[in-house]
Structure 1
Amino acid sequence: MIVLSYQPVSYREFKKVIKCGLEFGADILEVRGEKINHKELIKILNDKTLPKIFTYRLNQFSYSKIKDVSKKYRIALESGIEYIDVDINLGKSFINKLKKEINKTKLILSYHNYEKTPKLKYLIQILDYSRKISSDYYKIVTYANSFNDNYSILKLLEIASKKSIPLIAHCMGEYSKSGRILAYKSGSLFFYSSMKSNSETASGQIPLEYLTTIFKIKNLYPSTRVYGIVGNPLKQSKSWLFHNFGFNQTGTNAIYLNFPVNDLETFMDYFKSYIRGISITIPFKEEILKLPNVSSKIIKEIGSANTAIIKDSKPVLFNTDYLGFKEIVKGEKLLQNSKVLIIGAGGSARTVIYTLKKFDNEIFIINRNFERAKNLADEMNVQVIKDKNKLPSQMDVIINTTPGNNLFMLNLVKKIFAEKKIKLVVDLDLNFKESKLVSMCRQKKIKLINGFEFFIHQAIHQFKIFTGKSLSIRKARKFLLENYDKQF
């Protein structure tokens, strides 16, 4: 069931929550009771528009706080509320007294760890201890310090399912967002959402609107295929918008998530049985080839990959950056038989070099880390520039493969613009709306191909690999531009 959680101070304020819940399909509203007075709480609980959970989280134990907790739970029970969520730290005596006053209300007995996710064996012990108190549901919520912490929760849910234990379990924190969806898919009975991204009652909650309109959470089944993007950071990524739009357009039973990962090998080991395919971004486009994989001659020649299908527990690798960039090169004469400077020496730079060499370009590479650039230049047989003050006398095109508004790239481009006549700039960074490089090109009236176009072209190919289905590039572009400012 989908829960819309909110911490109100008045019934008038809570009416907006009710409206949001009705509009976007919440099954239950959670009323957090820490800030509301008794009179306003009664008004909220007397509104029977949607079923409710009443919850009170204590951050300090004092006589006045315990008194307030007791009073508000009794108000909730007297109203005939559908659920109460009681923290196990309130103690067995407190909980048993409440239970004597319960009529039809369902009890959720919850445990929270706001600092970390304990190892699986300790989570099992926590669940076993909680079950010493009879309850309709048990809830275990922990803090994820890395995305891989979500794995322990998923394994706990598997154990609970086998034992028919009614469990709600997920992580919280920024690393928990996609983990919450995986937990719900894996059997967690409730999914807690927020009204807006700035009104979370726990960190990592996803806005209800996103859940129902983009992720289509109501259509999430055990059979739903999971795809996602692996990398870090992922705030700038729009892949979740693109692919979930595509799944919805084509009627594909799949969902696409963000996997903000620091340890690729551990992620693949833990989650390969939960996912069907991944997009791969910074910093793992080259590292993915070091893991056991299945790859084509082209992948080996490029030395990087940005797409994988998981088959027999191994990633089958593809490079849709190459396919997308090749389309751009074919349609732009300035990317053929030209002198091209590539800024950067990572996985994207590899793909760009590999593609440009097929179109008779003279290629130069420069990078903040010279040794990395030299190694790549030697490997791919192109020229490397060590000193930015000793650039070639003529250059036609600059291609930026580095992320964000980094100073190395910006200062270099500023110097080149002042000294040379550049005909075209290609910026592979997706965040074109905030790109200083884009602004510099506009000021100088230099032709620009931005990262959004590159992203769209490669993503169309990636979607076809994931699903076997074609997607309208026109419709996808329109949807992304209309929803571009959304973040997950």
Structure 2
Amino acid sequence: MATLLCAPLVAKTVDQMVREMAVAKGLGADLVEIRLDHLSVFRPREDLELLLKGRPLPVLITYRPKWEGGQYEGDDTRRFEALRLAMELGAEYVDIELKVAEEFIKFLSGGKPDHCKLIVSSHNYESTPTSDDLGNLVARIQAVGADIVKIAAVGVDITDVARMFQVIVHCQERQVPMIGLIMGERGLISRLLCPKFGGYLTFGSLDAGKESAPGQPTLTDLLNVYNIKNLRPDTKVVGIIGKPVGHSKSPVLHNAAFQSVGFNAVYVPFLVDDLPSFLKVYSSPDFAGFSCTIPHKEAAVVCCDEVDPIAKAIGAVNTIVKRPSDGKLIGYNTDYVGAISAIEDGIRGSRVKDSSISPLAGKLFVVIGAGGAGKALAYGAKEKGARVIIANRTYERARELASLIGAEALTLAQLENFRPEDGMILANTTSIGMHPKVDESPIPKHALGSYAVVFDAVYTPKVTRLLREAEESGATIVSGLEMFIRQAMGQFELFTGLPAPESLFREIVAKNSS
């Protein structure tokens, strides 16, 4: 059975819930969850009749108590009566908590109607149980008479999700319908990949701010970005590894590109704290490749079984591909070509391009940051014949990179008064100025007067404070979006073995940038 897409309704009034049911249907939901505990006033028979009469979609009725993460603070008898009434009025699903499930089933006395499926749920708002404990929990939920098992837990680490996937797959093999979700940003993939692993349903909110649990994506994103209705057990999983990762436009870009060429894969965000642990846990062939961003690019070099010579020379990997023949992890760096070519084209402008001589040759090229992206730009500029300076908040890190590639080192503070010559190039590779801290800049405006070209690897927002002030100071600016597009095209080709659809990439980025 295909995974169902459920829209939770958490409005304060019945009238609003009725309106939102129609919205959910229009957006593509398969059913709605009516959260009775969110209603500011609830009159059981009158309101349930309004909600259930002429409903455009099947409904799941939930009346969640405070002790299980809901809003209801009264006694259980009133809840039980409302849930029984919902069954009698035709609700397709009713959710009851494991803690009181036996008591509720006894309360029904004559049993539940055949048309209604009973979801018995367990929520853990502190952590995700061990594999054994999850298995035991499934058995306990089944034993009380559940038609559908539901377990939701908070993800402390993204590897917690793998345990939930294993339990869902095991339940599917035994034909036990199960909803298994990990709450919070680290658990997002549990919601996005439900159809691949056989989850009974997943939740998508009507809009941002209308979630019924932490970490819920919107219906629109599930359907339009992640193409959830077309995910199958054989769909490959690719994604971006980072911390933070929620700002990334990569899922929008790669998923649209995969669909355009008919490549059976989905691209998801992985909020990863510990890269070696993540790669070890998600080692199955299902997880076919990864983009690597801050702060994991350098660690990825050590984690890969083989590293492309350029990525090894740079000391940073931004793309990992799992080789199908033996499952080995192969590391590459597409930042290098993406950033350097974007800066070169920014310098050339509309002039005739002579690819034999780089416009970087002989120029003084200042790199802010000594992390993975900083290494890629420093290496690339050096290869093109530029004289390179590394500036970093921590001088030791700057000096290490400088000695590695034959450059000079400065602290970020020293950069404020660094003006040895005019016509220099500046490249920021740190996250300073990234959304939401858009008012920050790695160096003050008064220090920008000697630069002819300023590049910022940050692309959210498209025009950072650094770029805005550089342009006001008379410099040519190059947005991080150019690097993003070009490195992403390189990644796409590594993931798929197909040429990247450049016009589509540029169209999507233009549509989704601000």
Place the TM-score, normalised by the shorter chain, in its bin: over 0.9
The one-letter amino acid paired with 1:47 is: G
Deviates more, 1:339-348 or 1:123-132: 123-132
SS in 1 for 2:454: strand
SS in 1 for 2:380: helix
Q: Is the 8 A contact 1:153 1:169 kept in 2?
A: yes
SS in 1 for 2:165: helix
The alignment status of 1:308 with 2:331, answered yes or no, reads no
- Which residue of 427, 447, 453 maps to 1:416? 447
Paired residues for 1:19-418 under 5 Å: 19-36=22-39, 37=42, 38=44, 39-60=46-67, 64-98=74-108, 100-103=110-113, 104-273=115-284, 274-311=286-323, 312-331=326-345, 332-333=347-348, 334-386=359-411, 387-388=414-415, 391=418, 393-395=420-422, 396-405=424-433, 410=441, 412-417=443-448
Report the CA distance between 1:171 and its aligned residue: 0.8
CA distance in 2, matches of 1:84, 1:389: 63
Q: How big is each residue's C-alpha offset from its partner over 1:415-466, in whole Å with a ceiling of 9 and x where there is no partner?
A: 422xx42111011112134621122123223210011111011111111111
Q: How big is each residue's C-alpha offset from its partner over 1:288-331, in whole Å with a ceiling of 9 and x where there is no partner?
A: 11124212221211111100111233311111112212422443
**Percent identity between the aligned chains?**
28
Deviates more, 1:18-27 or 1:223-232: 18-27
Deviates more, 1:320-329 or 1:117-126: 320-329
Q: How big is each residue's C-alpha offset from its partner over 1:261-291, in whole Å with a ceiling of 9 and x where there is no partner?
A: 0100110011121410000001111111112
CA distance in 1, matches of 2:341, 2:6: 45
Report the CA distance between 1:482 and its aligned residue: 2.1
The one-letter amino acid paired with 2:303 is: L
Q: How big is each residue's C-alpha offset from its partner over 1:399-420, in whole Å with a ceiling of 9 and x where there is no partner?
A: 1111132899836343422xx4
The one-letter amino acid paired with 2:454 is: V
| Structure 2: runs of 5 or more not aligned | 349-358
CA distance in 1, matches of 2:139, 2:376: 52
The one-letter amino acid paired with 2:366 is: L
SS in 1 for 2:193: helix
CA distance in 1, matches of 2:513, 2:365: 30
Q: Is the 8 A contact 1:321 1:458 kept in 2?
A: yes
CA distance in 1, matches of 2:74, 2:392: 62
The alignment status of 1:15 with 2:18, answered yes or no, reads yes
Change (3 A) 1:410 1:194: closer
Change (3 A) 1:429 1:373: same
Deviates more, 1:153-162 or 1:399-408: 399-408
| RMSD, matched Cα | 2.2
Report the CA distance between 1:60 and its aligned residue: 4.2
SS in 2 for 1:283: coil
Change (3 A) 1:409 1:393: farther
SS in 2 for 1:440: helix
Deviates more, 1:83-92 or 1:429-438: 429-438
The one-letter amino acid paired with 2:288 is: R
Deviates more, 1:325-334 or 1:120-129: 325-334
The one-letter amino acid paired with 2:10 is: Q
CA distance in 2, matches of 1:459, 1:142: 34
Report the CA distance between 1:132 and its aligned residue: 1.4
Q: Is the 8 A contact 2:102 2:144 kept in 1?
A: yes
Q: Is the 8 A contact 2:426 2:453 kept in 1?
A: yes
Report the CA distance between 1:389 and its aligned residue: 6.3
Q: Is the 8 A contact 2:382 2:405 kept in 1?
A: no
CA distance in 1, matches of 2:159, 2:109: 37
Report the CA distance between 1:25 and its aligned residue: 1.6
The one-letter amino acid paired with 1:361 is: A
TM-score (norm 1): 0.93
Report the CA distance between 1:176 and its aligned residue: 1.5
SS in 2 for 1:363: strand
- Which residue of 460, 469, 482 maps to 2:498? 469
The one-letter amino acid paired with 2:418 is: L
Q: How big is each residue's C-alpha offset from its partner over 1:310-356, in whole Å with a ceiling of 9 and x where there is no partner?
A: 12333111111122124224433453331111111011111111111
The one-letter amino acid paired with 1:97 is: F
CA distance in 2, matches of 1:55, 1:427: 48
CA distance in 2, matches of 1:358, 1:272: 35
Q: Is the 8 A contact 1:106 1:136 kept in 2?
A: yes
Q: Is the 8 A contact 1:225 1:253 kept in 2?
A: yes
TM-score (norm 2): 0.89
SS in 1 for 2:143: coil
CA distance in 1, matches of 2:92, 2:442: 61
Q: Is the 8 A contact 2:370 2:390 kept in 1?
A: yes
Q: Is the 8 A contact 1:2 1:191 kept in 2?
A: yes
CA distance in 2, matches of 1:97, 1:277: 51
Q: State the match for 1:428 in structure 2.
A: 457
Change (3 A) 1:102 1:442: same
Q: Is the 8 A contact 2:304 2:320 kept in 1?
A: no
Change (3 A) 1:64 1:354: closer
Q: State the match for 2:354 in structure 1.
A: none
Change (3 A) 1:353 1:411: closer
Change (3 A) 1:389 1:52: closer
CA distance in 2, matches of 1:12, 1:445: 57
